[in-house]
Amino acid sequence: MKLPFFALALAVTAPLPVVADDASIDLKLFGRHEIEGGLSTCHLAFWQSNRDPETDQYAYLIYMPYDENGMPKRAMIEIGKERIALTESARGDFDPPPQLGYRLYSSADHATHVLVRIEEAVVTGSLQTIGKAQVTVVREDLPPFVAGAKGVIGCPGPSSVSSSEAPPAPAEQPPVASMPSPSATASSYAGPDGLSLGPAVLLTAASEVPAPVRNEIATYTPDQCSEPEMLAYPGQRYALAESFILWEVPCFLGAYQGTSIFAITQDPPGDWATMLSLPNPPALEGENNAQMMNPEVLPSRGLFVTTEVGRTEGDCGVYRVFRLMDAPGETFEFQLMEYREKIACDGVQSEPSSWHLQFSSGE
């Protein structure tokens, strides 16, 4: 079913009732490990634009598999603790061009709607790769939740099945305009490394986090972190200096940003733990924060890269690089090596590692 542009747009432009300031849609990212049966050979998937589902534990905003005949099945999103099934209820093409446009997905009770706006895409065989999209989640009596996205529609390859066994491409997949897809650049940080860590070991349950670590979090970040049961991702750990463990514990996980807290224990854990704080650059006053936003850990180099975007488009924010080092008293600490910032949220996207350098360690 196709609808005109303005009919679909009404889903997000209609006036909304007045709600409490703290009311919002608690949209959650999810990973491929949460998709029942794993990714199907052919599927539709949109993930947060500043994440990569190949490398990030949680990236997806919406996912919909296709059956062996190329017909769409139910899509899924996660809001709070609830996994919601959706079906495609409408489409609308831009005019011009006719290849790009909108897809609307709705729950059976019509309480939840997801509007996907496809703005840039390329097509290769049976795969449509979306370089730029916008995902808007609408629920009654709440402001819409909007996130920048990338995605795929079709059959990503290469596949383990032969071409004769491969399922057909999804039905009604239209051709798309050929447009360049953005390419990411490597981090520009070339300074000294920190203490080398062992590879990340994913925890299977929040109960694996030692009690002293939980006590440190409760003492120094009260009311800031979600309850462990509310976070699908329990955390991970890294071997450190043969007799210690570095614990990465998720604190908050939202639709496009999440925070983690890092703590040290002995190996095996005993009755103590030390939570690590993040030092500010010399010119920035105030208390050090313990929560690392969107952390990227480079274990072999002992580096921790964090990007805190100012809004979903990712066109502004703060980028920092820390290294883990020895500290007095047979403990460890984070050292700030680089601090970059882009203040203007001007719609111009660039790699955070290329933002204006505000501070660099003299080492």
Instruction: Give residue 254's pLDDT.
Output: 60
Q: How far is the CA of 251 from the CAs of 195, 214, 293, 294, in angstroms?
A: 24, 11, 10, 11
The token pair at 69 is: 């005949």
Pairing of β 43-48 and β 303-309: unpaired
Q: How far is the CA of 39 from the CAs of 29, 59, 64, 66, 147, in angstroms?
A: 16, 14, 9, 10, 22
Q: How far is the C-alpha of 20 from the C-alpha of 303, rounded, in Å?
A: 41
| pLDDT in single tens digits along all 363 residues of the chain | 443 333 334 344 443 333 344 568 889 999 988 888 888 888 999 999 999 998 998 999 999 998 776 778 899 999 988 999 998 877 665 544 444 678 889 888 888 999 898 888 887 766 788 999 999 998 877 888 889 999 998 887 543 333 333 344 444 333 222 222 223 333 568 889 999 999 988 887 888 999 999 999 988 887 777 776 556 567 889 999 989 999 999 887 665 577 899 999 999 999 999 999 999 888 776 667 889 988 889 999 999 999 988 877 778 999 999 999 998 877 899 999 999 999 999 988 888 999 999 999 876
Pairing of β 201-202 and β 145-154: unpaired
Residue 258's nearest CA partner among 249, 266, 250 is 250
- Cβ neighbourhood burial of 123 (10 Å; 0-12, 13-18, 19+): middle
Instruction: Give residue 248's pLDDT.
Output: 93
Rounded to two decimals, the pTM is 0.53
Instruction: Give residue 93's pLDDT.
Output: 58
Q: How far is the C-alpha of 359 from the C-alpha of 339, rounded, in Å?
A: 5
Residue 189's nearest CA partner among 322, 333, 297 is 322
Instruction: Give residue 157's pLDDT.
Output: 59
Q: How far is the C-alpha of 107 from the C-alpha of 119, rounded, in Å?
A: 24
Instruction: Give residue 122's pLDDT.
Output: 83
Sequence-ordered strand ranges (E) for the chain: 27-28, 43-48, 60-65, 75-79, 82-93, 101-106, 112-124, 127-139, 145-154, 201-202, 236-240, 244-253, 258-266, 274-275, 291-293, 295-298, 303-309, 317-327, 331-342, 356-360
In the beta sheet, which residues pair with residue 267? none
Instruction: Give residue 6's pLDDT.
Output: 34
Helix (H, G, I), strand (E, B) or coil at 7: helix
